[in-house]
Structure 1
Amino acid sequence: MEHCIFCEIISKREMAYIIYENDHVICFLDKFPINKGHVLIVPKRHYPEFSEVDSKSLTEVILVAQKIAQSLEKSLLTDGITVMQNNGMFKDVEHYHMHIIPRFREDGFSWNEPEIEVIEDEFEAIRQKLIGNLS
């Protein structure tokens, strides 16, 4: 495994502004936040991708995400919360993590949604592929 900054934070060899941890996850402020208070929730076991995370760690990630979101709402009086995670080439650290981002009206952060046209036959073909791969 290559050097992993999150594994270094988990082992306390690298400094982070930790706000919560238990046996399965650690939560700390993002050093490059989208908004002040942006929190990362990281499983303590190293998994590069979301699809690889064990069920206990994944359960803890989402349950702790809810607690962090509630704390952000109360502490920072947010207008909302964005919960997101990236996979594959779209992630910036090769260790699965979830972002909990406090949101404020006109904070400048937005989704860039391209206009994609999908015809009825394509919806059905995609649906069938997904159903086939759920097993």
Structure 2
Amino acid sequence: MSDCVFCRIIAGEVAAHVVLDVPEAVAFLDARPVFKGHTLVVPRAHHETLTDLPPAEIGPFFAVVQRIAGAVESGLDAAGTFVAMNNRVSQSVPHLHAHVVPRNRKDGLRGFFWPRQRYESDAEQADYARRLAKALEPAQGR
């Protein structure tokens, strides 16, 4: 869809810090992260919500989400991750996407209040994307 920013990122028409680009999905850093390294995983084909994703694509999509969660932990030394998805309500872009947010104890995240941050520079954001992509390298051949 030409008016969907995520479709435009997938097509390479809008710049993003991509950490993984595979046939099932594309993962890139959230421009307004809850915590630095907050990554969005989107299916390559445009589907607005989880209920719109064809059943055959659910497993492969969530396998990518699982890989990104592992990369966030290992690549960013996070104690864990918060994985979330909105469907219509609070969905800022109407293209299915899973949030994978790095978590650490006492990081200040409480309930569903998500304070947003900004990267200090494009270079810092690129460094986070590089670290996550590097953490995915051993898993590339799986």
Counterpart Cα distance in 1 of 2:17 and 2:108? 24
Aligned counterpart, 1:37 = 37
Which letter maps to 2:88?
G
Q: Is the 8 A contact 1:36 1:102 kept in 2?
A: yes
Contact 1:38–1:100 (CA<8 Å) still a contact in 2? yes
Following the alignment from structure 2 to structure 1, what is the Cα–Cα distance between the partners of residues 86 and 103? Answer: 18
Q: Distance in 1 between matches of 2:99 and 2:93?
A: 12
**Which protein, 1 or 2, shows the higher relative CO under an 8 Å CA cutoff with sep ≥ 6?**
2
What is the match of residue 105 of structure 2?
105
Instruction: Please give the alpha-carbon distance, in whole angstroms, between the structure 2 residues aligned to 1:57 and 1:27.
Output: 16
**Who is 1:115 aligned against?**
none
Shift of 1:89: 2.1
Tell me how far 1:109 sits from its aligned partner: 1.3
Q: Distance in 2 between matches of 1:17 and 1:47?
A: 21
Q: Distance in 1 between matches of 2:32 and 2:87?
A: 18
Higher gyration radius (CA): 1
CA distance in 2 between partners of 1:48 and 1:64 (Å)? 18
- SS in structure 1 of the partner of residue 89 of structure 2: helix
Alpha carbons 2:2, 2:8 under 8 Å: kept: no
TM-score (norm 2): 0.74
What SS does structure 1 have at the residue aligned with 2:36?
coil
The size of the alignment, in residue pairs, is 113
Distance 1:51 1:110 in 2: 27
Alpha-carbon separation, structure 2, partners of 1:2 and 1:90: 22
Q: CA deviation at 1:2?
A: 6.9
Report the CA distance between 1:106 and its aligned residue.
1.8
Unaligned runs of 5+ in 2: 113-142
Other-structure match for 1:48: 48
- Counterpart of 1:28 in structure 2 is 28
1:100 CA drift (Å): 0.6
Secondary structure at 2:106's aligned position in 1? coil
Aligned residue for 1:20, secondary structure, equals strand
| Identity level (%) | 33
TM-score, normalization by structure 1? 0.77
Q: Distance in 2 between matches of 1:80 and 1:110?
A: 15
